[in-house]
Structures are given as structure tokens and as C-alpha cells.
Chains A and B, each alone.
Chain A
Amino acid sequence: MGYERQIDLGTPEVRSDSTVTCTIDGRDVTVPAGTTVMRAAALSGGSIPKLCATDNLKQFGSCRLCLVEIDGMRGTPASCTTPVAQGMQVHTHTPRLEKLRRGVMELYISDHPLDCLTCSANNDCELQDQAAAVGLRDVRFGYEGDNHLGAATDTSNPYFDFDPSKCIVCSRCVRACDEVQGTFALTIDGRGFASKVSAGLGGDDYLSSECVSCGACVQACPTATLQEKTVKAIGKPERAVVTTCAYCGVGCTFRAEMRGEQIVRMVPWKDGKANHGHSCVKGRFAWGYAQHQERILSPMIRESIDQPWREVSWDEALTYTAAKLNQIRDRHGRNALGGITSSRCTNEETFLVQKLVRAGFGTNNVDTCARVCHSPTGYGLKTTFGTSAGTQDFDSVEDSDVILVIGANPTDAHPVFGSRMKQRLRKGAKLIVIDPRKTDLVRSPHITADFHLPLRPGTNVAVLTAMAHVIVTEGLANEAFIRERCDWDEYSHWAEFVSQERNSPEFLSPVIGVDASAIRGAARLYATGGNGAIYYGLGVTEHSQGSSTVMAIANLAMATGNIGRRGVGVNPLRGQNNVQGACDMGSFPHELSGYRHVSDGAARALFEAEWGVKIDPEPGMRIPNMLDAAVDGAFKAIYIQGEDILQSDPDTRHVAAGLAAMECVIVHDLFLNETANYAHVFLPGSTFLEKNGTFTNAERRIQPVRKVMEPLNGYEDWQVTQRLAQAMGLDWNYTHPSEIMDEIARLTPTFSGVNYARLDAEGSLQWPVNDKAPDGSPIMHIDGFVRGKGKFVVTDYVPTDERTGPRFPLLLTTGRILSQYNVGAQTRRTANVAWHAEDLLEIHPTDAENRGLKSGDWVRLASRSGETTLRAQVTDRVAPGVVYTTFHHPETQANVVTTDYSDWATNCPEYKVTAVQVTPSNGPSEWQEDYAAQATQSRRIVAEPAE
């Protein structure tokens, strides 16, 4: 598409069961009751001048430019604040109105720089457009009076500038920060002529303020006051392509606004059904890694990891790799090979990698990075409900009365949905937070959790079972729902279990570390407060009882009847952009696409007929099994697409030992990541901006990813996988990812109605999409569970084997911060380091004082697995006895410290509980020094010989 601004109807959509018809400039228009005159005029094809109004903010009525005349009504009401009435006759362009509007505009322009030709917003400025629309030709007041033209520009934010000399104080930015983002970082300071937009307190600039750099204010600004630095540097975009963000599982859609092959800016797409026009600092601004100088664009190979890399042609790299894989298979058997798919890559790319492993390598040794995040969700929800997916769409939260957030920090990790959640909470929904840390949700502007249960890490199952005890023993269970929808015998067995005194809040309180009365209160609120919705994240799954916790959550939802309608449900907040999709595509070693076990002969027969090969009926190895087998000498080669297991997986030393023991490690990625230090083949990857495909977000929404620029490395990732398959002798001839999706649809019942034509036409589809749900499935389990009867599973609390003691008295838990993303490969290569340049260790003031520590001190963080050093941040966000850090920086290598304990059902690592000791330090650990030396040596690339 060419470049056009997104349509702005002036005021938000109104939902109403009734309609009214009015006449605007002689045109009849019928709209939902409550719709404003401004919006009705826009819907009828007209246009009323406006400045302070925009359709993602509530009407404000301050600029006085949108005045209209209405028959029978005195004066000239503002069209943005006047609702239409049946039979109303509206006139939007009359001599009287034109005179008034010109007068208003004169006042604005009298205090505005007249530098349109050199302004970065030239031809893309609402003030300029409206001045033209009202026919302003002269400013009678002159320009000599008091003005704001000399106000200094705030350039502190790395992505946008604030130039107050161009501000018209329309308050759109302030309202966007309040209504859309919910941070309340901006305000109008002063009164009258002294009014000005201000970030934070008096001494703050944008960077030092509470601003989270979501970009909502920049998007709302009708002038060049708040504008992206890239627009200033590059100029106005000339085309726009709608695509899907490649950061978290919210799946925001953006318009990539381009000049040639250069991105000017990423602007959230108003029609995006996941984000509704909102964004966060990562998706909006942190895309610079795509052009970062450290990207590797040529394939490289080496015989051993102590050698430097040698750049080679694609043909040589792929021929070499295929020969290596074939040799290893011939010598050691097909089960000596395996692959890892990536939740950062598209559905189509993921599907091809698992197809290569199953059909090309001849093994089910394929796994995915969901192993280390949401594999317990797959197990737990499949067992209890019948399918491995969240039950709701994001919009469902608008109907929630009680929101229970456990082990998730959506304002940091899923910020756009976090903002939606906060909007609902500010409208009155109740909030329960179960988290060891005092996350932002616990207390933020106009939001206070009704219950915060700061449990000891590792006691999720205990607290959920204690809540179930309250619900069952106090008669709060929804027996009618259970009898109709669930297996009553299984419920009875479960209810008898949770009713035991040993599962009461009073008995478990000392274990959990939370008052029994708070647990009882939270349980009563969830069970009786109306529509109850549970949202959870990796604080649930990354435990030795991760799967049990997911099933305990499902038990609670079923016991209270909170399943199968809007406002309720069980909602896993997926970490990466395509966790849901990667799991859907058959990335787990025991499942084909659509969650069909490899032992299912009928499912296997479908694939065997399509692919022309036999599929192994036995499950393959998970990632930790592969590493163990490699150390054991039984696993020799691995193809890793878009995943950095050395940094992201637990017990780094063991991962390194496993990789070092392999004969052929193939890394297919954007950068020489940490895993590549142990690789023999490096295949350059393409960014989400350089490829076509689809991502599936946390609400099962399949959304298009569109190529906005040519791949710098020459190939989209699916093409590289296809070329590798061809080099191994497979007859693959896809010409476009749409053909891969067609194959997915043929083989996967839940995707049978999905194709690119529909995705282009409808924007997105939520699976299942098939004959029984032709338009997709925003809410699941409406009339019955996928498995038939909902299954209650007894989830006994089994303490983790990772215990504190005299040597390691503190519990470490890990997580993510707003500005950084996972291992940081992308965000560390952007200006987001302005907010988070290093991993810090949060420690409670009492624990810090006992160790003589203050914020900024270097500390040694040691566990039974290893040790690292980082700097301390003393804060009461963590409870005494608990410390917390992020894992965004390879210099810290937090996973040197984490153990190889894992979830009993899925082997998802227990990242959230590690017994540690913290002591003062004055330098890097021995491991850090050794690792830095090894990484430096491993990243050498042979220089081209001089000609």
C-alpha cells in the first residue's frame, strides 16, 4: 500500500443495541445511539475540522475547532462531545462556523513556529491540515506577543523528541498516557498561558520520568511536538505495510512505515485485533537490531569450535551441512540427529524445521524453546480441558469482574495487554495478585490489588490447593456447572483431597509464607465475585510443579464455573511472539501438528501420505534429553533455528558440555549468539521484517507477517530450511509460505479453514478454524470441553528438591523487564539499553544490610550449580529471603546459577527457584572470565585474503 494516515473518526466507537438516524449536511446517517456528531459525520463520508479529538481517546472538547450548527439548538456545540439524536439536522460547514474556526486557528498559529517547509512533520501534520481546511490566510494578532517559540526541546528519550515550541496543549498526549497506556506519566503543568505538557515531576525530563516509552503520546500528537527521531532523520514515509510484531505473545500488529527499504517508523495498527492501536517500547521502537552491524549475513563453517569461522557461499555451506548430517546419520543412526524450532520464527518456518527433522532426519528428536517456558501449559491444559491453549481472547478481559494474576507481570512482559487489564481494573474489576514480588500491578496509579499473596517461590500448588480447600469446604463450588460439564467422580475425588485439613490455608500458611486470612479472602473473592479470569505466566510454569500448577489453575476455574464465556477463563500469557504457534506446529517430540501424539496411527498416516515417508511412532528427545545424550555420546548433531540455548537454558555449564560433545551444531540465527560459540555451521537468519508468514499469539490468533524489506542475508528462513532439505535429497519445492500453510491446513484439523486469502481479507483468525467453527474461536469450551468432560486432577503439593540451607540461604527467582526481551539478542542491540544496560540483583533491605551491601555494589551470586557476579539493587519489591534478577545479558549469565531441576511432567526448567548466597564481590567470577575468553576466541572470523 502507499502511504496514507490511518483513518481517524474523531471519537471512539460506541456499542449500543439501538440506533439513531440523523441528517448531516443533507446526508442521512444511522449510527449506534450515543455516537457523537463528529464520528457520525466521519462515518457518513464527511469531515469536521478537529485538533484535540482522536478516535482512541475519550472526547475532550477543548480545541473548539469542531463546532457545528444544529437545527433547534442554540449556539455552536462541539461535535466531539455532542451525541446524535433521532432526526437531528446538523450543519458542519456554514459561514458562521468557518469564521469561528478561522478565529480559533488564528490563535493557535499566532504561537506556533512558521517553519512548515523545514518541519519534520511537513505534509503529515494535523495542525497544518486543519489550517488549510479552515482557510487560514492571515494571523491578525501578529507574532510579536508573548509566546513559547523559544522553549527548549527535550531530546532525552532515545526514540522521540519533545519540542514544546510546537505544542498546542491539546492534551492528546496526556490523555493517551492516561487512557491508553495507563501510566499517568504526563500532565498539563501550570494554568492559562503557562500551561505546558510535563513529564513526571518538575525536574524530570522524559527519560528520567515514569514514561515507559510506549509511544502512545507520539502517536496521539497532532503536530511535530512529540515525534520519532527517525522521522526527523529520514523524512516522511512513502509506503506502509501491515505486519505483526516479533516480540512478546500479545501479537501487536503494526504499520511498518517505509521510505524505500528503510524503516521510518513502526506505528501500531488501529485495526489490530490484539492491540487495538497500542504498542510498547519494544515493538514500537526497538527494531534497530534488524540493521545492526553485528548481524551475520554470510554463511560460515568450521571443522571444530576452536577454529575461526570461514565465510562460504550458501551452496558450500548447505552442501557441507547436508553431507555432515548424512554422514552422522549413516554412522550413528537417525536418532543421533535432532533439531530445535523457534517461537520467534513463523508458523511456516517452524513447521518446516519439524518436518525436516521427522521426514528428513527420520527421527522425532525435535523440540522447541517452549520447552523452557510454556510446555507445562501444553501438558496441563491438554490433560484437564483437552487442548493446549488459553481459553479466551484478549477482549474478554473487558467483561471480567475478578482478575487473578499468578506468576505473571503483564505490565513488564506483556505491556499492551497489561494496559488493557489496567483499564478494566480502573473501571472497577477486583484484583488478586499471587507473586513473590510486589509487581507494578499490586499498586499503580488508581489500582490497588484487593489481595496480594507474596508467596514463597515454589509454593504455587500449595496456595492454589488452599484456595480450592476454601471454595469446596465453604460451599462456594459451582455444582451445577461441574455436574454438567465435568467428570463428577473425578471432581469428587479431587474435592475430597482438597478438603483435607492438611490442605487448609491455616495448615499451609507457614509453608506459603502468607496469612491464611488473605488466602481465604482471595479464594472467596475469586469464587463469588462474578466473572473470574485467571492470567498466568512463567512464574507458574517454570517450577518443578509447573504442570501441576497449570492443572490446579484449571481445577479452580472448573470448580467455580469460570470457563466457556466472556470474562472468565484460563489465560496463559505466552512469552514469545509465536509460542502458541510453535507448539501448534508439531514442535514437541511427542506430537504432530495439532497436538496429536505420534503414537496415533491415523494422524501418522496423514503425514506419511503427504510426505511419503514413515513417521516414527515413538516420542523423540526433549532438549535436556538431547544434551544428556550428547554428553553420553549418543547424540551428535543438532539444527537450531532462532534459539540461544546456551544463554536461555538452565545450568549453562551442562548445556556447554552437551554442545561441545556434538560433532555438528548448526545455528541458524541473526547474530553469533552464545550457542554459536559451540557451532560448526552458522546459517544467517532473516528478521520478521524480511519474511512472509504467520505468527499465532497467546489468544490463538493467527496473524500475517509480511515482508517489508528484502532479507539482508538473501533468504527468508523457510527458504534456508528448504535449501538444506533439498541438499539432503528431499524434494521440497515451496515457492511461498502460503503453500506451507496450505499443507498445515491439510494436515491439521484445527487449521483446516486457514489460508492466506482469508488472513489477508479478515486480518486474523483464531483457531480452531474449520467446518465446525468457520469463523474461528475467540472463546473455547463454550458448550463443553474439547476432551468431553473437564478433568479434575489431584495436585498434591510436592516441595521442590532445591532447598535453602546455611550455605545457600536465599531463594533466587528470575524474570523479565519491560525494556529488554528474553536473552536480549534483539533489545540489547537497540537504544533500549538506556533503561536497562545490565542485569541487576534485587535484594531486600534487610538481607542487604546483613551483608553490608548497598545499591550499586558488585555481588557474588552463588548456587550449587555455579556463580556469577552482578550489581545489587536494594528494594522492598522482593520479600526478605528472596532475590531476583533478569537474564537479558550474556555477561551476567544468570543461568550459570540456575539448576537442572525441572517440571516433573515436561522438564520445563525450574528457573524460578534456586537456593543462593549473596556476598560482596570485587570482580567477575572465574566462569565469567573463562567464558569471555572462550567467546572471544570462538567468534573469530578469517579475514578475506587480500587481492
Chain B
Amino acid sequence: MSAMTTDKLVYMANQIARNMALDADPVAVVADHIAAFWTPRMKELIFAHGSDGLDPIAAKALARLEKGREPAPQTRATDPHAHGADAG
């Protein structure tokens, strides 16, 4: 594990948190995003890193993920026709 990769992961987590900070439930959204898009190795690396340097929202989101309370991904599969919406 290189510091470069871990530093990048911390940066990425903080960047997500900064952009979602004003969401109604930012911790849930950040946790959801990381669960949906990060590989298991990336998650393991940042869990092992701890909260050093992490934005408070990111730290809470990662703590929630680490405890296994992964939310269902916000971007979970959606059948484009489940709502009969887009037939032209």
C-alpha cells in the first residue's frame, strides 16, 4: 500500500463529502456513493487508514460503511419502463 494511493482515497472521500455536504442526509449519500462505486480494495485501504485527514461527513460515512450498515445504492438498477415513462 502506498501513501500515494491512500492519500488519493482520502482526497476522493473528502471531495465527495464537500460536494454532498448540503444534501438532506449527507452522511447517507456519501456512504451510498462509496458503497456503489469503490472497489473492495479501496474500501479496505481507507478503513485501514482510519479517519486521519477525513472530512467529518466522510469519516462518519466510512464509519457507517465499515460497521456493515451499507445502504442500498442510490443508483441501483432501475428498469427504464417500470414507470412506463419514456415511451416516445
- List A residues at the B interface (Cβ < 8 Å): 335, 379, 382-383, 386-387, 490, 493, 497, 544-545, 548, 589-590, 594-597, 599-600, 602-603, 618-621, 625, 628-629, 631-632, 634, 749-750, 766, 768, 770-773, 775-788, 793-794, 796, 798, 904-905, 907
Contacts and interface: CB of A to CB of B under 8 A. Distances in A.
Given A628-B5, A783-B85, A794-B22, A597 B41 contact: no
B24 interface: yes
A600 B80 CA distance: 15
Contact of A749 (B19, B36, B42, B80): B80
Contacts of B76: 597, 599-600
Contact of B83 (A544, A766, A784): A784
A785 B39 contact: no
A766 B77 contact: no
B61 interface: no
Interface string B42-58: 10000000000000000
Nearest to A493: B24
A749 B40 CA distance: 28
B79 to A, nearest CB: 6
B39 A796 contact: no
B77 to A, nearest CB: 4
A561 to B, nearest CB: 16
Contacts of A907: 12
A632 B83 contact: no
Interface of B: 1-2, 4-5, 8, 12, 15-16, 18-19, 21-24, 33, 36-42, 73-88
B24 A749 contact: no
Contacts of B16: 904-905
Contacts of B8: 628
A465 to B, nearest CB: 11
B36 A782 contact: no
A619 B81 contact: no
B46 to A, nearest CB: 13
A548 B19 contact: yes
Contacts of A595: 77-78
A782 B88 contact: yes
A778 B16 CA distance: 34
Contacts of A629: 5, 41
Given A544-B15, A618-B40, A905-B19, A597 B75 contact: yes
26 contacts: A387-B80, A594-B77, A595-B77, A597-B73, A599-B36, A600-B76, A618-B40, A621-B39, A628-B5, A634-B41, A768-B80, A771-B81, A773-B81, A775-B88, A776-B88, A780-B86, A780-B88, A782-B88, A784-B84, A786-B78, A786-B81, A787-B78, A788-B82, A793-B23, A796-B22, A904-B12
Tell me whether chain B's interface is mostly helix, strand or loop, or mixed. loop
A386 B82 CA distance: 11
Contacts of A589: 39
Contacts of A773: 81, 86-88
Given A386-B78, A387-B78, A768 B5 contact: no
B57 to A, nearest CB: 13
Given A382-B75, A768-B80, A905-B33, A625 B85 contact: no
Contacts of A596: 77
Nearest to A544: B15
Contacts of B38: 619
Contact of B85 (A621, A631, A785): A785
Of residues B4, B12, B77, which shows the largest number of chain A Cβ atoms within 10 Å of its Cβ? B77
Of residues B18, B22, B42, B80, which shows the largest number of chain A Cβ atoms within 10 Å of its Cβ? B80
Nearest to B81: A772
Nearest to A789: B83
B80 A619 contact: no
A296 to B, nearest CB: 33
B73 A599 contact: yes
A602 B4 CA distance: 37
Nearest to A592: B77
A780 B22 CA distance: 29
A628 B11 CA distance: 14
A590 B87 CA distance: 26
B77 A788 contact: no
Given A749-B80, A796-B21, A772 B87 contact: yes
Nearest to B23: A794
B1 A590 contact: no
Contacts of A798: 18-19
Contacts of A782: 85-88
Contacts of B24: 490, 493
Given A750-B80, A905-B19, 13 more contacts: A590-B36, A597-B76, A600-B77, A618-B39, A619-B39, A631-B2, A632-B1, A770-B81, A772-B84, A780-B85, A780-B86, A782-B88, A793-B23
A904 B19 contact: yes
Contacts of B77: 594-597, 600, 602-603
B88 A779 contact: yes
A597 B5 contact: no
B21 A786 contact: no
A619 B36 contact: yes
Contacts of B33: 905
A383 B75 contact: yes
Contacts of B18: 798, 904
Contacts of A775: 88
A708 B41 CA distance: 46
Nearest to A378: B75
A620 B41 CA distance: 9
B19 to A, nearest CB: 5
Of residues B40, B73, B75, B86, which shows the largest number of chain A Cβ atoms within 10 Å of its Cβ? B86
A622 B44 CA distance: 16
A766 B41 contact: no
Nearest to A773: B87
Contacts of B4: 628, 631-632
B73 to A, nearest CB: 5
A484 to B, nearest CB: 13
A137 B36 CA distance: 78
Contacts of A779: 88
A794 B12 CA distance: 19
A677 to B, nearest CB: 23
B85 A796 contact: no
A428 B81 CA distance: 36
A531 to B, nearest CB: 17
Given A597-B75, A632-B5, A768-B80, A387 B42 contact: no
Contact of A785 (B1, B5, B21, B83): B83
Nearest to B11: A801
A469 to B, nearest CB: 15
A631 B88 CA distance: 48
Contacts of B84: 772, 783-784
A770 B5 CA distance: 44
A632 B2 contact: yes
Nearest to A634: B41
B53 to A, nearest CB: 14
Contacts of A777: 86-88
Of residues A749, A785, A904, which shows the largest number of chain B Cβ atoms within 10 Å of its Cβ? A904
Of residues B16, B37, B84, which shows the largest number of chain A Cβ atoms within 10 Å of its Cβ? B37
Contacts of A544: 15
Contacts of A766: 88
Pairs A-B, 5 closest by C-beta atoms: A596-B77, A773-B87, A777-B88, A600-B77, A780-B86
B37 A590 contact: yes
Contacts of B79: 749
